[in-house]
Homo-oligomer: A and B are copies of this chain.
Amino acid sequence: MAQLVRVQNFNVSRDGIGAGEDQTLERPFGHVDPERLFSWAGATASWPMRTEPGGSRGLDDYLTRDYARNIGAEIMGRNKFGPQRGPWQDHEWQGWWGDEPPFRTPVFVLTHHARPSITLSDTTFHFVEGDPASVLEQAKEAADGKDVRVGGGATTIRQFLDADLVDTLHIAVSPVELGSGVRLWESPDELLDRFHLDVVPSPSGVVHHLFWRR
């Protein structure tokens, strides 16, 4: 089985926006209430951040249960790790993801500013600089034959799409308009020259967009 580069469970609004403006420590999604984007996922049995038993096992759950399947490493933009800009001032602060981050693999955080790797439970964050292809090289090596997830945000996914490094994408379009923020696309049709697309409306109100290479 080939080693795939996958975008998995990435959420955008109906107008193509993945996060708000003015990100702060208290508001990782800026002016956007993340609940409005992600509530469909939190309702499923397989949501990786679920703490209580229960949850639905229908269509949405088939999508969330694939989040970690055969994933050996993640690549994320710096803003998914924390709100800081410029050189790291405080190595004590270890990111937004708590003592048990949901990734459970090596994670490569894109940044121009070096800092030592951090291990929290099953997740190790590495801080790396470089173009998408060279960072992907490192992540594939660390994934040891398994797939690599490009975890976002929208800007990072765009970089990897622009470099034509992505094999499959699952983008969940939530039934909300945000108006402004960090944009993934104007329209999913932008990807149709390179990808097949299944558009799958869910009873929860989100519309799953499943892309794979032509």
Contact = CB atoms under 8 A, between A and B. Distances in A.
Contact of A58 (B45, B53, B62, B196): B196
Given A65-B66, A69-B65, A69-B69, A56 B196 contact: yes
A115 interface: no
Interface in A30-85: 45, 53, 56-59, 61-63, 65-66, 69
Contacts of A123: none
A87 interface: no
A203 B58 CA distance: 18
A212 B66 contact: no
A57 B210 contact: yes
A94 interface: no
Contacts of A65: 66, 69
Interface residues of A, number: 23
Most chain B CB inside 10 Å of its own CB: which residue of A63, A202, A203? A203
Contact of A198 (B2, B58, B197, B212): B58
A200 interface: yes
A62 B203 contact: no
Nearest to A203: B198
Nearest to A57: B212
A157 to B, nearest CB: 17
A168 interface: yes
Most chain B CB inside 10 Å of its own CB: which residue of A2, A56, A57? A57
24 contacts: A45-B212, A56-B196, A56-B212, A57-B210, A57-B212, A58-B196, A58-B197, A58-B198, A58-B210, A59-B198, A59-B200, A59-B208, A59-B210, A61-B212, A62-B62, A62-B66, A62-B210, A65-B66, A65-B69, A69-B69, A198-B202, A198-B203, A200-B200, A200-B202
